[in-house]
């Protein structure tokens, strides 16, 4: 891959100015001062002195929060010293004598590097963003308060094992030890910026509930098919059921293998060598234009909620594990690269937690990827096992259209009282907002958040139903597994301490939400897979594909979940490897309904094929496989494109690139640039005339599957352009148009010469802070944002640098980290982060891994203490 050196744009958009001028412009905008006029030379000299003072002040302000990494710091509550060893990328490895000390030290180090990120997250998950950022964050807060994320987290705390609660308390104490000795300006430069704007903010102490609430945000971003439920209804507005069904093709089991290739449930327990089956018979309601309008508003509102992991196209992951027979080391190898939204700082912080002597009272010897704000390691390995995550993606949420009459709602022919509570939201620079939250048995009524949704009863009516009586309206309620308290936090430390398949599965059993695919390997040579998570069992009237009528009991959940022992799992499969990449978990005869909205399996099958062809993989080859950029739709689409007859010369020059293209997509590829522009135009010319913009194709794996079928039907009605009254377009008309448009677009964007085109010039990665990075003030964006980088890969490729064809070519999500674990020698393992370990914009470790990531490189992942200390660049003692 090629990269562009990351830069920070000048506020005025011209040539880069001096740091002093930038600082002065920053403060000028904050203070509302006019732009300077022409001044006499002696005034100019004075201005130079002021700018120099501003430069010195600016350097002090941005460097003040950088953490102390050497020497000694007193941390109240530690029973013994904890040593923090950092390498040349600032990655910390912590060594302590007991679990309490390690958790306390982890909280302190997370706060050193990432507290502002932690603080923004806890405000988001508590519905308190408007306290920091004002009225623009109010709608998000209203949705979060309505769902009650923090209220659920408070109830979960009581469900946790005592050891987990103790770890959360110790972690919080470590965070607070840092806060107690640092003013806001020494914690993060972002507080300096916000307080300069009039916030007058002092961070509150951290609590265990703050950590648990982050798991709600994680579950929300990975919640499954809620948006698909709404989109199906909206698509039915002026298309037939058959047409809409063609846009959601079934999983191609005969082409792309599921994760678990055999086995089913016998007497409630999944047996990997057994066979049997099961069926469902759903009843689906239809919705009128009014209900569709309500659901569209709900979709728009939910899209404006904060997202820390990302959602939609590209949000998935790759993981796979091979046994010793498929490994050059003779021992298992495990790889993982979660695909999440891009942001600064990145979602992961690498870290190691090591007991100086392993014992029942201090069982941790683990390293991997952590969430700042949460104790323990989320993904990684310990001294005995390794594990990785991908999103299982089951259908764990349903939208219910409810009939509401005053303070009651209708269910099974009866009127039942609504449950209500009141929430008060503080708004920076504005009046407090009081929100009344109403709930049915299905969950909170989300439609109360939006004025438009609150009036939905005036126009929404289920087809075939009688007119609503006076005083009755419709509302939209949410049922979601994450709103039911569960001890998911127990699973994190249990995974960190697991020593074998049995203890690994016991930990997975507590991982309730979000449901994940877990791959496993151990030093005894075993490999395995386990699907954990709460997956609801629905009654026969509800298949989870569409919103349902809440007044009909047959649409309810049964109250039971798919039993953990009945979820798919496999140990030491005969083929010697396991691949998970968000594809179907198991075949269609599995008796429980998990979802119908799987990823279509292009990435998974590509990985399987490459492992099959290689047979024996080294650590380097595992890492190289993560960079495979084969385009999954190209082998199908390119032959049709080459069959189109274009006039020789200007317009056919781009088409000629495809004749020798190998379907790979490195950043410097002219053919990849041309093909992806053609692909975007094919989707636009085929479907934009059929849908409103919020339903335009994003080009993800579902649309690839749709187009694979459509290309074989040249006269299908989808090809016709509704905006042309006298012509009925066919496939070849659309393909011709797309080819011509792509040629002209690339000439405008890049060059008249196809040899000068590059995919990376179009497909760029920008890293933006999710808070201040969206500021209207250019110097503030300059302070916290970085980029761009020119990268290869694409949506649904193994190297999943996804882009949204409805909007453009920029990267919207990407591998948030990459890791390869060698069970034969942990010190031979490799890892890389999308950004860096630091959340401080002027730390050397803010984006110091991004160039390496973009070039497809990885860092040594040292694990043994001797190796870690040999590579040490800074050592700190917490005393």
| 788: preceding bond cis by omega (within 30 degrees) | yes
Residues tagged active-site: 317
Question: Helix-strand-coil percent breakdown of the chain, rounded to 5?
Answer: 40, 20, 45
What does the longest C-alpha to C-alpha distance in the chain come to? 90
Structurally, how many domains does the chain consist of?
1
Residue 1: pLDDT over 70: no
pLDDT tens digits for 550-587?
Answer: 998 888 998 999 999 999 999 999 999 999 999 999 99
**Is there a contact between 643 and 658 (Cβ–Cβ < 8 Å)?**
no
3-state per-residue secondary structure call for 485-515: CCCHHHHHHHHHHCCCHHHHHHHHCCCCCCC
**Is there a contact between 108 and 174 (Cβ–Cβ < 8 Å)?**
yes
The pLDDT, as a whole number, for residue 48 is 52
Q: How many angstroms separate the CA atoms of 590 and 592, rounded?
A: 6
Of the candidates 829, 846, 826, 830, the one whose C-alpha atom is nearest the C-alpha of residue 838 is: 846
Q: How many angstroms separate the CA atoms of 124 and 546, rounded?
A: 28
Q: Which residue has the tokens 């939208």?
A: 399
Q: Which residue has the tokens 């219910």?
A: 400
Please name the helix (run of DSSP H) or strand (run of DSSP E) that holds residue 271, with its range, or none.
Answer: strand 269-271
Average per-residue pLDDT for the chain: 86
Taking only Cα atoms into account, the Rg of the chain, rounded to an integer number of angstroms, comes to 28
Q: Which residue has the tokens 């029973």?
A: 79
The pLDDT, as a whole number, for residue 295 is 63
Whole-angstrom CA distances from 221 to 339, 443, 603, 817 are 12, 18, 21, 17
Please name the helix (run of DSSP H) or strand (run of DSSP E) that holds residue 390, with its range, or none.
Answer: strand 385-391
Neighbours of 424 (CB within 10 A): 9
Please name the helix (run of DSSP H) or strand (run of DSSP E) that holds residue 293, with its range, or none.
Answer: helix 289-303
Residues 389, 391, 392, CA angle at the centre, nearest 5°?
A: 110
Structure tokens at 293: 């309008």
**Cα distance between the two ends of the chain:** 45
Confidence class of residue 471 from pLDDT cuts 50, 70 and 90?
low
Residue 744 counted as domain residue:
yes
Of the candidates 538, 210, 603, 569, the one whose C-alpha atom is nearest the C-alpha of residue 371 is: 210
* Contacting residues for 356 by C-beta, under 8 A, at least 6 apart: 95, 96, 97, 362
DSSP 325-381: GGBTTSS-EEEEEEEEE--BS-S-EEEEEEESS-BTTB--EEEEEE-TTS-S-SEEE
Q: Which residues are annotated as a binding site?
A: 229, 395, 398
Residue 326 counted as domain residue:
no
pLDDT tens digits for 365-396?
Answer: 999 999 999 999 999 999 999 999 999 888 89
Residue 701 counted as domain residue:
yes
Q: Which domain holds residue 717?
A: 634-664+670-757
The pLDDT, as a whole number, for residue 459 is 38
The pLDDT, as a whole number, for residue 399 is 86
Q: CA 818, 823, 825, 828: dihedral to nearest 10 degrees? A: -10
CATH number at residue 735: 1.10.1400
pLDDT tens digits for 233-283?
Answer: 667 667 777 888 887 888 888 888 888 887 767 656 676 766 544 333 333
The pLDDT, as a whole number, for residue 290 is 52
**Phi/psi at 790 (nearest 5 deg)?**
-90, 125
CA 153, 154, 155, 158 torsion-angle sign? positive
pLDDT tens digits for 505-530?
Answer: 999 999 998 889 999 999 999 999 99
Q: Which residues are annotated as a binding site for Ca(2+)?
A: 229, 395, 398
Task: Please tell me the pTM assigned to this model.
Answer: 0.87
3-state secondary structure of 605: helix
**Is there a contact between 335 and 321 (Cβ–Cβ < 8 Å)?**
yes
**Is there a contact between 373 and 110 (Cβ–Cβ < 8 Å)?**
yes
Of the candidates 636, 481, 555, 546, the one whose C-alpha atom is nearest the C-alpha of residue 227 is: 546
Residue 726 counted as domain residue:
yes
**Is there a contact between 199 and 428 (Cβ–Cβ < 8 Å)?**
yes
- For the ranges 25-34, 208-217, 639-648, the maximum mean pLDDT occurs at 639-648
| Burial class of residue 648, CB neighbours in 10 A (0-12, 13-18, 19+) | exposed
Confidence class of residue 214 from pLDDT cuts 50, 70 and 90?
confident
Q: How many angstroms separate the CA atoms of 317 and 341, rounded?
A: 12
Residue 627 counted as domain residue:
no
**Is there a contact between 159 and 487 (Cβ–Cβ < 8 Å)?**
yes
What's the mean pLDDT in 445-460? 57
Lowest mean pLDDT among 49-58, 438-447, 543-552, 620-629: 49-58
Confidence class of residue 224 from pLDDT cuts 50, 70 and 90?
low
Residue 346: pLDDT over 60: yes
Of the candidates 516, 480, 522, the one whose C-alpha atom is nearest the C-alpha of residue 498 is: 522
Whole-angstrom CA distances from 228 to 112, 830, 863 are 40, 37, 43
Q: How many angstroms separate the CA atoms of 209 and 203, rounded?
A: 16
Lowest mean pLDDT among 254-258, 308-312, 729-733: 308-312
The rounded Cα 633 to chain-centroid distance in angstroms is 24
Residue 597: pLDDT over 50: yes
Beta bridge partners of 270: 265
Neighbours of 73 (CB within 10 A): 18
Residue 795 counted as domain residue:
no
**Is there a contact between 437 and 586 (Cβ–Cβ < 8 Å)?**
no
Residue 68: pLDDT over 80: yes
Confidence class of residue 205 from pLDDT cuts 50, 70 and 90?
very high
More confident residue, 194 or 753: 753
Beta bridge partners of 349: 370
| 128: preceding bond cis by omega (within 30 degrees) | no
b/e map 350-368, b = 16+ CB within 10 Å: bbbbbbbeeeeebbbbbbb
Residue 680 counted as domain residue:
yes
Q: How many angstroms separate the CA atoms of 96 and 83, rounded?
A: 7
**Is there a contact between 681 and 773 (Cβ–Cβ < 8 Å)?**
no
Residue 34: pLDDT over 60: no
The pLDDT, as a whole number, for residue 35 is 38
Residue 878 counted as domain residue:
no
Q: How many angstroms separate the CA atoms of 12 and 86, rounded?
A: 38
What's the mean pLDDT in 49-56? 52
Name the DSSP letter for residue 817: E
The pLDDT, as a whole number, for residue 457 is 35
Residue 202: pLDDT over 80: yes
b/e map 446-465, b = 16+ CB within 10 Å: bbbbbeebbebbeebbbeee
Neighbours of 376 (CB within 10 A): 28
What's the mean pLDDT in 118-136? 93
Residues 459, 460, 466, CA angle at the centre, nearest 5°?
A: 100
The pLDDT, as a whole number, for residue 239 is 79
The pLDDT, as a whole number, for residue 330 is 97
């Amino acid at each position: 891959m090629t990269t562009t050196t990351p830069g920070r744009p000048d506020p005025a958009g011209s040539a880069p100015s001096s740091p002093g001028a930038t600082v002065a412009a920053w403060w000028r905008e904050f203070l509302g001062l006019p732009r300077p006029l022409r001044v006499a030379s002696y005034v100019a000299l004075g201005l130079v002195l002021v700018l120099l003072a501003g430069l010195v002040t600016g350097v002090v302000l941005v460097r003040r929060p950088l953490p102390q990494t050497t020497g000694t710091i007193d941390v109240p509550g530690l029973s013994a010293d904890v040593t923090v060893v950092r390498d040349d990328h600032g990655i910390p490895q912590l060594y302590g004598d007991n679990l309490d000390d390690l958790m306390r030290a982890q909280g302190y180090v997370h706060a050193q590097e990432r507290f502002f990120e932690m603080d923004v997250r806890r405000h988001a998950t508590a519905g308190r963003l408007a306290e920091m950022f004002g009225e623009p964050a109010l709608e998000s807060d209203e949705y979060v308060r309505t769902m009650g994320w923090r209220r659920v987290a408070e109830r979960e705390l009581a469900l946790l094992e005592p050891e987990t609660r103790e770890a959360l308390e110790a972690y919080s104490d470590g965070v607070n030890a840092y806060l107690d000795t640092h003013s806001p300006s020494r914690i993060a430069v972002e507080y300096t910026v916000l307080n300069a704007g009039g916030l007058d903010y002092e961070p509150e102490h951290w609590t265990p509930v703050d950590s648990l609430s982050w798991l709600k945000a994680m579950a929300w971003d990975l919640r499954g098919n809620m948006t698909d439920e709404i989109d199906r209804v909206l698509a039915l507005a002026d298309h037939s059921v058959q047409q809409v069904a063609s846009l959601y093709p079934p999983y191609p089991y005969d082409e792309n293998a599921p994760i678990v290739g055999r086995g089913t449930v016998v007497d409630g327990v999944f047996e990997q060598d057994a066979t049997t089956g099961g069926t469902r018979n759903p009843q689906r309601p239809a919705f009128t234009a009014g209900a569709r309008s309500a659901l569209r508003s709900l979709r728009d509102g939910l899209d404006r909620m904060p997202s820390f992991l990302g959602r939609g196209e590209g949000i998935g992951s790759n993981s796979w594990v091979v046994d010793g027979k498929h490994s050059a080391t003779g021992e298992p190898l495990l790889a993982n690269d979660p695909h999440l939204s891009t942001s600064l700082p990145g979602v992961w912080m690498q870290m190691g937690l090591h007991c100086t002597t392993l014992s029942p009272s201090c069982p941790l010897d683990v390293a991997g990827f952590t969430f700042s704000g949460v104790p323990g390691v989320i993904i990684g390995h310990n001294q005995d096992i390794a594990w990785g995550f991908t999103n299982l993606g089951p259908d764990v949420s349903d939208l219910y259209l409810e009939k509401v009459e005053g303070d009651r709602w209708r269910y099974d022919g009866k009127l039942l009282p609504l449950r209500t509570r009141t929430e008060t939201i503080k708004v920076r620079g504005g009046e407090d907002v009081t929100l009344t939250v109403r709930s049915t048995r299905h969950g909170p009524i989300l439609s109360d958040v939006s004025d438009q949704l609150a009036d939905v009863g005036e126009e929404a009516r289920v087809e075939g139903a009688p007119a609503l009586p006076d005083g009755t309206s419709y509302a939209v309620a949410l049922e979601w597994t994450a709103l039911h308290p569960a001890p998911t936090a127990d699973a994190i430390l249990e995974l960190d301490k697991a020593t074998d398949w049995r203890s690994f599965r016991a930990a997975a059993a507590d991982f309730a939400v979000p449901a994940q695919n877990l791959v496993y390997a151990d030093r005894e040579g075993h490999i395995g897979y386990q699907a954990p998570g709460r997956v609801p069992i629905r009654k026969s009237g509800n298949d989870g594909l569409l919103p349902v009528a809440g007044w009909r009991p047959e649409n309810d959940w049964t109250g039971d979940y798919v039993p953990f022992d009945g979820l798919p799992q496999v140990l030491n499969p005969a083929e010697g490897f396991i691949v998970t990449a968000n594809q179907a978990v198991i075949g269609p005869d599995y008796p429980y309904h998990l979802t119908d909205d799987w990823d279509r399996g292009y990435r998974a099958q590509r990985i399987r094929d490459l492992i099959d062809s290689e047979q024996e993989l080294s650590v380097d080859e595992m890492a190289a496989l993560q960079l495979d950029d084969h385009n999954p739709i190209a082998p199908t689409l390119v032959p049709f494109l080459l069959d189109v007859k274009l006039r020789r010369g200007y317009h056919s020059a781009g088409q000629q690139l495809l004749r020798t293209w190998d379907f790979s997509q490195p950043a410097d590829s002219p053919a990849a640039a041309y093909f992806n522009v053609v692909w975007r135009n094919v989707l636009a010319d085929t479907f934009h005339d059929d849908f409103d913009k919020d339903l335009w194709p994003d080009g993800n794996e579902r649309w690839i599957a749709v187009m694979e079928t459509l290309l074989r039907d040249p006269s299908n009605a989808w090809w016709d352009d509704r905006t042309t009254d006298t012509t009925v377009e066919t496939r070849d008309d659309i393909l011709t148009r797309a080819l011509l448009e792509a040629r002209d677009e690339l000439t405008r964007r890049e060059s008249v010469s196809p040899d000068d085109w590059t995919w990376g010039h179009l497909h760029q990665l920008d890293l933006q802070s999710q808070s201040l990075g969206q500021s209207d003030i250019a110097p503030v964006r300059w302070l916290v944002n970085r980029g761009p980088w020119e990268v290869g890969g694409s949506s649904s490729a193994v190297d999943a640098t996804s882009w949204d064809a409805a909007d453009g070519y920029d990267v919207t999500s990407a591998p948030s980290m990459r890791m390869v674990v060698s069970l034969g020698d942990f010190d031979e393992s490799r890892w890389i982060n999308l950004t860096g370990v630091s959340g401080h914009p002027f730390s050397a470790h803010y984006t110091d891994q991004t160039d390496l990531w973009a070039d497809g490189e990885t860092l040594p992942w040292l694990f043994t203490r001797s190796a870690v200390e040999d590579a040490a660049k800074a050592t700190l003692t917490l005393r």
